[in-house]
């Protein structure tokens, strides 16, 4: 189908005459631009039962910050399943605040707690700093369920774009280390390959928000040594994708990454994995967090929340409906 009316309007605004392109901005300007986009076009933040700022200690004495959301109808004593969420933004922009509404929506609709991780950003902290933070967030959460009020046997990983990449890479690393896997992966148009010659990269290279220059801007800041073949940067380059958790993967029809997403899902399936792939018609990269603009975003959040309930075994009592 063609671009939706809402997607066309957003693109017209983004590419208005005289407006600087995203990759022409400084890092500070790009972060402000990303933040403004989300605050204007995200939905209204729904109330949740509680939020708590969670400091996760690193070995060097510094702290990785995260925010824990508990769903509105949950009981205080419940050990809830949890999804650890890694925000998108090309490993360079975005934060817990930019994805606050999406995390609240996923939390309430799924009945799961959500732990949103404020991992380190490039270029100040290039690859593999974000990967180390993602793994630390999983390991610490699994070890401190009692402190957080969550069930360490029911952990999912999720994220959009760069955050989806971090979810995949963390699951692959846990598999390779012979450690317990998360129960589920929620992947929203994840970056699976730095370099790709699939047709969507060229078909949507200009004029569709995540354009060629913006992709290069993100990749160059995140991966200054240029080693795009490292599977931790490009998980499609992993020797095997077997043994990953069940996953739900969303692609967007007018996204330069959409063919990469479809190819990743097909390979996971071919290697024996449990994957549901859904390509959202008429949508562009970034739609998932812009619920005020896109009804498709609201539908995808509801679909993702349903999958989390099913895969993490959320009970009626935990959803506050007993």
Domains of the chain and CATH, by start: 5-312 (3.40.50.1820)
pLDDT of residue 276: 98
pLDDT at 319: 57
At 1 the pLDDT is: 79
pLDDT score for 322: 41
Virtual torsion, Cα 227, 231, 236, 237, nearest 10 deg = 70
Alpha-carbon distances, residue 31 vs 95, 154, 223 (angstroms): 9, 33, 18
Q: Round to whole Å and give the CA distance between 142 and 163.
A: 19
Omega before 125 cis (within 30°)? no
Do the Cβ atoms of 255 and 200 come closer than 8 Å? Answer: yes
Q: What is the predicted pLDDT for the residue at 95?
A: 97
Residues annotated as catalytic are 161, 255, 285
Per-residue pLDDT of the chain (322 residues; tens, 9 = 90+): 799 999 999 999 888 867 788 889 999 999 999 999 999 999 999 999 999 999 999 999 999 999 999 999 898 888 999 999 999 999 999 999 999 999 999 999 999 999 999 999 999 999 999 999 999 999 999 999 999 999 999 999 999 999 999 999 999 999 999 999 999 999 999 999 999 999 999 999 999 999 999 999 999 999 999 899 999 999 999 999 999 999 999 999 999 999 999 999 999 999 999 999 999 999 999 999 999 999 999 999 999 999 999 999 987 666 554 4
pLDDT at 317: 60
In the β-sheet with 247-252, what is the strand arrangement from edge to edge?
50-57, 63-70, 113-117, 80-86, 150-160, 184-188, 247-252, 275-280
- pLDDT value, residue 285: 98
What count of other Cβ atoms lies within 10 Å of the Cβ of residue 58? 14
- pTM for this prediction: 0.96
Query: Between vectors from CA 22 to CA 20 and to CA 24, what angle results, nearest 5°?
Result: 65
Closest CA to 106 of 132, 129, 86, 78: 86
């Amino acid at each position: 189908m063609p671009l939706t009316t809402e997607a066309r309007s957003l693109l017209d605004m983004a590419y208005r005459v005289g407006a600087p392109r995203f990759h022409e901005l400084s890092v500070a300007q790009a972060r402000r631009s990303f933040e403004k986009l989300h605050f204007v076009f995200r939905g209204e933040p729904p109330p949740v039962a509680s939020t708590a700022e969670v400091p996760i200690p690193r070995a060097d004495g510094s702290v990785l910050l995260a925010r824990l959301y508990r769903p509105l109808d949950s009981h205080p004593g419940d050990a809830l399943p949890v999804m650890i969420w890694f925000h998108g933004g090309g490993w360079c922009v975005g934060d817990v605040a930019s994805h606050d509404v999406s995390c609240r929506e996923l939390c309430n609709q799924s009945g799961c707690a959500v732990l949103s991780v404020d991992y380190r950003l490039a270029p100040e902290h290039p690859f593999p700093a974000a990967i180390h933070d993602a793994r630390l967030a999983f390991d610490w959460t699994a070890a401190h369920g009692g402190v957080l009020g969550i069930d360490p046997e029911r952990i999912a990983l999720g994220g959009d774009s760069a955050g989806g990449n971090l979810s995949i890479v963390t699951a692959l690393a846990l598999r390779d280390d012979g450690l317990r896997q998360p129960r589920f992966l929620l992947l929203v148009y994840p970056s699976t390959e730095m370099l790709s010659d699939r047709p969507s990269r060229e078909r949507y290279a200009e004029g569709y928000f995540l354009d060629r220059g913006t992709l290069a801007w993100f990749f160059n800041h995140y991966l200054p040594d240029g080693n795009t073949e490292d599977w931790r940067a490009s998980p499609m380059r992993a020797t095997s994708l077997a043994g990953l958790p069940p996953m739900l993967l969303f692609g967007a029809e007018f996204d330069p990454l959409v063919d990469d997403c479809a190819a990743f899902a097909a390979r996971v399936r071919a290697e024996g994995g449990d994957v549901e792939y859904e390509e959202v018609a008429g949508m562009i990269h970034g739609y998932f967090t812009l619920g005020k603009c896109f009804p498709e975003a609201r539908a995808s959040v509801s679909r993702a929340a349903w999958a989390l309930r099913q895969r993490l075994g959320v009970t009626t009592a935990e959803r506050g409906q007993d």
